[in-house]
């Protein structure tokens, strides 16, 4: 299992370094998704399977899709078609596919391995996490919901157009 950890860590570092040095936002997003998947595998090896699932579903699934939506919104117009043709070259996806291939080989290795290999580190089950989350940290859950509500209202106010928002709200 240590081998899986170190290879995933190397993939995460390489893909993050590539993500922050890309000139193109879509290429950077591809590499960042690979980096998040590698970190999810790191979490799994560290004995946190629930957090690994959350990393894939919420980080790589939901938050990166938000970024993709914004990239799509910023590239409207007829010039986006030839830009798109320029983007979908074969060498664009070779790097992410190579790194993601390393990750899937590791995942197959874990799944085919013996079950005892999964207990390398202390395994913290989702049940323990839930008992802790809704026990001593219940106030934190309530506060997190308030933060999400504040983010929702803030995004709604800021994302509204400058002309349509005028005179409707209290603070403007």
Among 7, 45, 56, 103, which residue sits at the site for other proteins (rule: CB under 8 A)?
45
- Tokens representing 66 are 């938000």
Among 97, 105, 119, 169, which residue sits at the site for other proteins (rule: CB under 8 A)?
119
CA 26 – CA 20 distance, rounded (Å): 12
Closest by CA position to 35, among listed 105, 77, 79, 96: 96
Among 61, 66, 94, 169, which residue sits at the site for other proteins (rule: CB under 8 A)?
66
Please tell me whether residue 120 binds other proteins under the rule CB under 8 A.
yes
CA 52 – CA 60 distance, rounded (Å): 11
Q: Are 122 and 47 in contact (CB under 8 A)?
A: yes
Please tell me whether residue 133 binds other proteins under the rule CB under 8 A.
yes
Q: Give the binding range for other proteins (CB under 8 A) out of 81-89, 91-99, 100-108, 136-144.
A: 136-144
Please tell me whether residue 109 binds other proteins under the rule CB under 8 A.
no
Please tell me whether residue 110 binds other proteins under the rule CB under 8 A.
no
SS3 of 54-117: HHHHHHHHHHHHHHHHHHHHHCCCCHHHHHHHHHCCHHHHHHHHHHHHHHHHHHHHHHHCCHHH
Residues that bind other proteins (CB under 8 A): 1-2, 5-6, 9, 12-13, 16-17, 19-20, 25, 28-29, 32, 35-36, 39, 42-43, 45-48, 50-51, 54, 58-59, 62-63, 66-67, 70-71, 73-74, 116-117, 119-122, 124, 128-129, 131-133, 137, 140, 144-145, 147-148, 150-152, 154-159, 161-162
């Amino acid at each position: 299992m240590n081998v899986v950890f170190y290879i995933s860590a190397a993939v995460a570092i390489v893909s993050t370094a590539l993500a922050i040095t890309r000139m193109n936002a879509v290429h950077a997003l591809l590499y960042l998704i690979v980096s998040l998947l590698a970190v999810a595998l790191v979490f799994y090896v560290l004995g946190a399977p629930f957090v690994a699932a959350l990393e894939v579903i919420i980080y790589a699934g939901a938050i990166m899709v938000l970024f993709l939506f914004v990239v799509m919104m910023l590239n409207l117009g007829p010039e986006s078609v030839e830009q798109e043709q320029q983007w979908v070259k074969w060498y664009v996806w070779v790097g992410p596919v190579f790194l993601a291939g390393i990750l899937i080989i590791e995942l197959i290795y874990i799944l085919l391995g013996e079950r005892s290999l999964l207990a390398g580190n202390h395994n913290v089950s989702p049940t323990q996490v839930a008992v802790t989350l809704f026990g001593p940290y219940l106030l934190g859950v309530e506060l997190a919901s308030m933060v999400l509500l504040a983010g929702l209202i803030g995004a709604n106010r800021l994302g509204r157009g400058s002309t349509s928002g005028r005179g409707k709200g209290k603070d403007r």
